[in-house]
Each structure stands twice: as structure tokens, then as C-alpha cells.
Amino acid sequence: MSYSKHYRGSVSYSGSVSFSYPASQNGGSGSASYSGEVPVDIYINVDTDPFDNSVGIFSNTTDVLTGSVVAMNAAQCKTISEVSNKISDKITGGFFGVVKSELSQQIEILHNDINAGLGKLLDQGKAVDDKKTAMEGDYNRISSRYIRLFEDLDDECHKRMVALDKPSFDLSEKVQGKLLSEPACNIAAMNLLGLGEIFSKKALIFVSSMNKKTLDVLSTMCNYITQEITINSQVDALLFDEKINENISLDIPVIWSESDVVEGAVGTTGHDCFLPEHISQQGSQAITEKINMFCLDASRANWEAVEEAARESLNKEFNVLAEEHYANAEKDEEQRVYKTMLSLWQNSQLFYLKRGQS
């Protein structure tokens, strides 16, 4: 589409010229300056009809080419899709055919092996049953022979023991017969003779035995009291009876642990405080609360990693205690607990607070 443009502007000019004039009376020279603006008008006419005609022809040609490309692309995509489907069908069918054939061969081989192994197991089971029956017969025959032998030995031993002390056994049989068969007669006879005279010897023996046991108990108590007095005297010799006018702080070993909680909300942690057993429950609870408040306060607690030498010493002591506790562990559950405990210990981090931090 043709169009016209008009631009208007101006051009500035300036300068100076020198001049001289001949001597008429005095003569001389000088300079004069000048400046001004020249208006300028520019008219531009652009004829775009030839270009527009060429663009229209090119657009029509491009549309025809685009249609050809689209048709060719559609035909090519269809051909590629059909060829891809054929190739994939051939590959898939061939692959699954090979797999099916291979699995059929393996199933046939395994089926034959199982039948052969099953027949062998049946033969071995029958042989084991026959062997078991034979061993049971041998065991019953040998055990019956040895049972008779030991019964004969018991009878012979009983006869020889009775022969060695025959009067005592005769007296025992007579007394037992009288105690079991004639209790009422015996009680009446004892009442007639007097119970005090019959049981006097048994009472003396019983009293003597009680005196002996009482003497042993008193002797043991005397030794314990003597040892306690000796230990107290030695401890008193090491102590100083000194009065103080101020409170003295005592150190208590404490282990504070932080662990991830497996059950419950994600990202939560658990804290445990371990104190000596001799501290009372009330004191232990108060100490635990203060230690938790102190250890969880990042502005007060300055944790430092345990040195390597101390870590090795703790590791040795931990391994000794763990091995002593699980030395005779036979169950799989105990072995699993032992291995898990060692793994947690090896992957744990140990820190300590310097003395004087509070």
C-alpha cells in the first residue's frame, strides 16, 4: 500500500569573517560574525504496489506448499504408525513366543526332576521307616535285657545290704509293722508307761540341735558385727570431722540421651535421663526436670564432642557389658537385639558438658 511522509526542519548556520580596508586616513582590519537558520521541507512518496503484488503471489504459493507438506506429513505419520505397529507386533510376538517356549522347556525339565526326586524321596522314606522299625526292635530287645540285668543287680544289692545289717532291718520291719497295724495299742501302752520317759531322749536331741543352730547363728552375727566395726573404724580413720559454714556442691553422674521417636508424629524426638539408683524417686524427678530444662536450652548448654580416646574407652566397656549379657544368647530374637544395639551404639554421637557450666 503506497504512502507519503512529510518532514519539516531547519538547519542552523553561524560563523565569522575577517576583513581589512586600505589606509585612507588610518587604515585597519577586523572581523564580523554571522548566524541564522535555513528552513528545510522534505516530502517522501513510497510506492508499495509491486511489493504487495509479489507478497500476494508468495502467500498463495506458500499456502499450496503448506497443504502439500501437511498432506505429506499425515501420510508419513500414518505410514510410520503402521510400520511401527507391525514391527512391535512381530517383536512382541517373537519375544513372548521365545519366553513361552523357554518356560515350557524349563517346566518340563523341572517336572521330570521333581518326579525323579519324589520317587527317590519315597524310596528313602521307606528305607528310613524300615531302619526305624529295626532300630526300635533292637532297642526294645537290648533295653529289656539291661532292665532285667539292673533288676537282678538291685535285688542282689538289697539282699547284701540286708545281710550286712540284718538286725537293724528286722527291727525296722517290726517297728513299722507295729506303728502301722497297732497304733491304738501302742498309744495305750505309751499312756500306761508315761509319755515323758519315752520322748525324753528325742526332746533332748531336738534341744541339742536347736542349741547348735542357735550357736552357729550367733557366731555368724558376731563375725558380721566385728567386721562392720572394723570397717567403720577404718573409714573413720580416713575421714576428717570438720565443720563447714557453707553449702558444698556434690557431683552426680548423669547420662542424658536424645533419640528419634519411631512411633508417632514425624520429626519428634524423645529424651531420657539416667541417674544413680540410690537417689530417691522425688529427688530423681526434680533432677530430671532441671536437667531437661538445661540441656534443651541452647543458650546455656554448650555441648562438645567426646574425644577419640574417651570414645574408645567407652566403646570397650560397652562391648564388654554387651558380650557378658548376650554371651549365651541362642534365640534369633536375642541375636537380632544384640546386633541392633551394637549398630545403634556405633552410629550414635556422644557429647559432654564441661565442668562448671550451669
Q: What pLDDT score does 176 carry? A: 62
Q: What is the pLDDT of residues 225-277, one digit of tens each?
A: 888 888 888 877 777 667 777 777 777 888 888 777 655 545 567 788 888 88
* Percent over 90 (pLDDT), the chain: 0
φ/ψ (deg, to 5) at 64: -65, -45
What nine digits make up the cell of 162? 540286708
Residue 61 pLDDT > 80, yes or no?
yes
Beta strand spans in the chain (E): 3-21, 28-46, 255-260, 269-274, 303-305, 351-353
Q: What pLDDT score does 358 carry? A: 46
Q: Assign residue 19 a region (left: φ > 0; alpha: ψ between -120 and 50; beta: otherwise).
A: beta
Query: Model confidence at 192, in pLDDT bands (50, 70, 90)?
Result: very low
Residue with the larger pLDDT of the pair 6 and 175: 6
Q: What is the pLDDT of residues 98-134, one digit of tens each?
A: 888 888 888 888 888 888 888 888 888 888 888 888 8
Give the pairing of strands 255-260 and 28-46: unpaired
Task: Give whole-number Cα distances, 191 to 174, 220, 222, 301, 302, in Å.
Answer: 20, 43, 45, 88, 90
pTM: 0.29
Considering just the CA atoms, what is the radius of gyration of the chain in Å?
60
